[in-house]
Amino acid sequence: MAESRALPIMVPTPVTALLSALLLGAALAEPEHCSAADMPRVSLGDGNMLPAVGLGLYYTPPGAVAQDIVREALRLGYRHLDTAGFYENEADVGRAVRESGIPREQIHITSKVWPEAEGRWVEDGFAAVLDAVNASVAALGTRADLYLIHWPVNPEQRIEYWLALEEAQRLGLARSIGVSNFGVAHLQQLIDSPRTSVVPAANEVELHPFLRKDEIEAFCAARGIRLIAYSPLARALRLDHPSLEAAAARHGVSTAQVLVRWSVQHGYVPLPKSVRSERVAQNVDVFGFELSAQEMAALDALDERLFTEWEEWGQLDPTALP
């Protein structure tokens, strides 16, 4: 059963926090980069809009580092921030947004609830999730523009979790609701249930040329569910791949920009992340070039099932959970 699986280890270490702070401190002294304030927006499955590229905040240490990198991203033109209760930086995101001076309606915030495999999560999933949404909203100091179930654990409670998100949407705690790391069977369960009334507006999964999710993509496309791509840079494990380097050289961009652009052209919403200002700016500067059909085909052929979070997920693929 999914409940007995090892949970991912996602807590940043003190070393991670120290390095992040040092990197950010150096980056903030650099000159301003290209703004993305005019970034295109795309629609979620329910018609609500979000910026076509977002800032991923997984592994961004809470506190000053998270606040500073969000402030810097907003200065550079980002208007899409992806956090989660599990990241422990929701309050920092909310503070940076409030202090930015940017009208709240211009900024999209995604957050998520991480159901555990024990306790209230398996006894009263509805109440546990609704309490988690309220806690997220309190930490953010504002409603979520998109709120997700982080992973498809506890199949007997899955519908209860989703009904809690439907209730959160009705209460105005979240404008849109969706899921993360859900496979086709999980999505089908939510959609087919006679108790549910809302189709997930989005599904956030790991996606990049080295890890395709074609079955999930086809299912979501047919139902208007927007795919959001986390780890779109494959954690920098393949940035020196010859196909990426060739495309980057032709367009005068970095291989990271090629990866982000690949996601954009597929209709995904990528969430690149970094704590370095120049990389944060570069990752969103992908609307001045377009990959050719031949370049897209070459990148599409690179799939090697490179799930970069395999170890963190306890050597399981969450989209394949029962």
CA neighbor of 185 nearest in space, from 177, 197, 196, 193: 193
Rounded Cα distance between 79 and 108, Å, is 6
Question: What residues pair up with 177 in beta bridges, in sequence order?
Answer: 147
Rounded Cα distance between 54 and 225, Å, is 17
β-pair type (226-230, 55-56): unpaired
* Residues involved in catalysis: 87
Rounded Cα distance between 255 and 248, Å, is 5
| Gyration radius of the chain over CA positions | 19
N-to-C CA span, the chain: 7
CA neighbor of 64 nearest in space, from 100, 109, 21: 21
Tokens, residue 128: 């546990």
CB neighbour class for 147 (10 Å; exposed up to 12, middle 13-18, buried from 19): buried
Q: Residue for token digits 């990198």?
A: 69
Rounded Cα distance between 215 and 87, Å, is 28
Tokens, residue 225: 């569910």
Within 10 angstroms of residue 106's Cβ, the number of other Cβ atoms is 12
Instruction: Report DSSP state, residue 12.
Output: P
∠ CA 258-261-263, rounded to 5°? 115
Do residues 52 and 264 make contact, with C-beta atoms less than 8 angstroms apart? yes
CB neighbour class for 101 (10 Å; exposed up to 12, middle 13-18, buried from 19): exposed
